[in-house]
Structure formats: structure tokens, C-alpha cells
Amino acid sequence: MLAARTPAQPTVSRALRGSPMVSEETRRRIETIAQQLNYKVDKNASGLRRRQSRTLAVLFFEEWEAGGAQINPFYLSLLGPMVRRCADHGYDLLISFQQLSSDWHVDYEDSRKADGIVLLGYGDTLDSLKRLTTELGLDEHVWFTGRASHAEVQDWLSSSDVGLSPDPRSPFNEASTMNKTLEYMSCALPVVASDIPGYREVLTPETAIAVGPGDERELADAVAALLDDEPRRQAMGAAARELAVDRYSWSDIGRRLESVYEVVTVGTREPVAA
């Protein structure tokens, strides 16, 4: 019905999906008619034709027990930013629980439910996922980083110029500071971090540049400014190292923890301030 009142059907399809092959005037005319007819593009049918679903899937791997699985709060803190980023690019986000015993990969590969898959989980999933990657011929496209040793982390950070903590705003991040940020400071790196409470409590203007959460341009500008200014970078790194030693070394943390125990058990004095 829509095609009968407008140019040829291929032109209508191109116009409604924003193809540059259609002129702006024609696209606006087709969109106006579509609105008058209350016509909506069938995303499922369109996806079948393009062999794309415009959907990304996040799969949680949990072995369910009688009381139900407990989800790592860190994973939950990732979902909000992932949903927003998908929406920004016109994607839906499918969230699903899987079990190691299920043939989840066959289901997603055959049904084309999603164009890409993000796997979240822990426990004994690593070996099975590595085998599956090889079976599917994806070794060149999937990288299992594994857990880095403290020595490796120190080597990598010591050869870096800037430490980045561009964490999104979330309930988890509002109340916590990532360990990596303290590791940056201990290795004398200046930090570029999101301007959220979890970092305001730790970082100072002398040690870090605060940027708006999710502001990619501000983040890039801050990093570029530090990379182009070696004296400033070194001064901030030295200040970060000094702050880490003074406030967050094991000896200082231990001293404060001991004072808390004394207050609880004896009640003779106030806890030592940070």
C-alpha cells in the first residue's frame, strides 16, 4: 500500500533505512507518507533480509541451584552503560542466562538471534570456551587475556604514560574505587578518571584530570593534553605516587584498621582519619 503511493518499493526500503542512495527530498516525502499511514518497518523481516538482527546478546553463565544464582554486582554495573551504548547505535540488548551444559552457541548461531555476543561468567567456564572457540574456527577473533600476575601488571604500568579510569556512572562505581586506579598511582602515572564520587574521594587535581562520565571527547582531549606535556605528566605522576604511599600503602591502611579495632574492642579513642 505504501509503495503504491510513492516511488518503487526498493526506493521506499532504502529511504526508510536512511540509505544515502535516496535524495533528501524523496526520503522526507516517503517518511511523511509512512507517518500518515502509521507504517513501521518490520525489524524482524528486515533483519532476515540483511542477515542482521541489530541485537547484541549478553550471556551470563551460571549453574543454577535451588536458591538461585547470585550475580556478581560488578557485572550488573556494566549493564546500564551497555544498554545506553547499544541504544546510541540503534541496537537492542538481549540478556540471557545460560548453563555450561546447554548448547547455547548452536542456538545463537542457527537462529541468528544476535549479531554479537558478550560472555560474562566465572568458575570453570574458561577451558570449555577455549575449546568452543577452536571448534568454531574463531581463534583469530577471540582473545582470552587470563589473569595477569602482579609482576606483569607492574611491568605494563611502568612502561605506560597515563592511567585511564573512564568508568560510567552507576551505583557500584558511585561507592567504590577501582584497584587499577591505585595501581596507576603507585606506578607514578597521572590519571584521567570519570568525575564520580568513587574517584573524587581518592584523586586530587594535582594527580588526575576529571572528565564527564561517558564524554568521549573530553576524555580524548585530556589524554592528548597529558601526552603532549611531559613536564606536567611527570609532575602529576610524582604527586600520584606520593599520595598512594602516604594514604594507601599497606602500612597506612593497617594503621587505620588497627585503630578501628581498638575503638570497637576498647572504645578509648576515635579511629585514625584517612
The answer to whether 168 touches 81, Cβ cutoff 8 Å, is yes
DSSP string, 129-164: HHHHHHHTT-TTT-----PPPHHHHHHHHHT-S-EE
User: How far does CA 235 lie from the centroid of its chain?
Assistant: 30
| Confidence at residue 108, expressed as pLDDT on a 0 to 100 scale | 63
Q: What average pLDDT does this structure show over 105-126?
A: 67
Q: What is the mean pLDDT of the chain?
A: 77
Distances (CA, A) of 148 to 80, 145, 155, 182: 27, 8, 11, 16
**Nearest to residue 179, comparing CAs of 161, 191, 169?**
191
Tens-digit pLDDT profile for residues 225-259 = 999 999 999 999 999 999 999 888 888 888 888 88
| Confidence at residue 253, expressed as pLDDT on a 0 to 100 scale | 81
Higher-pLDDT residue of 32 and 69 is 32
Tens-digit pLDDT profile for residues 167-221 = 888 877 777 888 889 999 999 999 999 999 889 889 999 999 999 998 989 999 9
Sequence-separated (6 or more) residues with CB below 8 Å from residue 26: 7, 11, 15
Q: What is the rounded distance in angstroms from the CA atom of residue 55 to the CA atom of residue 226? A: 37
Query: Band of the pLDDT at 17, cuts 50, 70, 90?
Result: low
| Confidence at residue 130, expressed as pLDDT on a 0 to 100 scale | 83
Q: What is the rounded distance in angstroms from the CA atom of residue 105 to the CA atom of residue 57? A: 11
Q: What is the rounded distance in angstroms from the CA atom of residue 175 to the CA atom of residue 10? A: 53
**Nearest to residue 190, comparing CAs of 157, 154, 153?**
157
Neighbours of 92 (CB within 10 A): 14
User: How far does CA 245 lie from the centroid of its chain?
Assistant: 29
Candidate ranges 29-38, 55-64, 156-165; pick with highest mean pLDDT: 156-165
The answer to whether 173 touches 77, Cβ cutoff 8 Å, is yes
**What single DSSP character describes residue 127?**
H
| Confidence at residue 222, expressed as pLDDT on a 0 to 100 scale | 95
Tens-digit pLDDT profile for residues 54-113 = 788 887 765 555 555 556 666 666 777 778 878 888 888 888 776 655 566 666 666 667
pTM more than 0.95: no
Share of the chain above pLDDT 70, in %: 67
In the CATH scheme, what is the homologous superfamily, with its name and number, of domain 150-256? Glycogen Phosphorylase B; (3.40.50.2000)
Q: What is the rounded distance in angstroms from the CA atom of residue 57 to the CA atom of residue 63? A: 19
Instruction: Extract the C-alpha cell encoding 56.
Output: 547484541
Instruction: Extract the C-alpha cell encoding 113.
Output: 538471534
Domain range list for the chain: 3-41, 55-135, 150-256
Q: What is the rounded distance in angstroms from the CA atom of residue 96 to the CA atom of residue 99? A: 10
**What single DSSP character describes residue 38?**
T
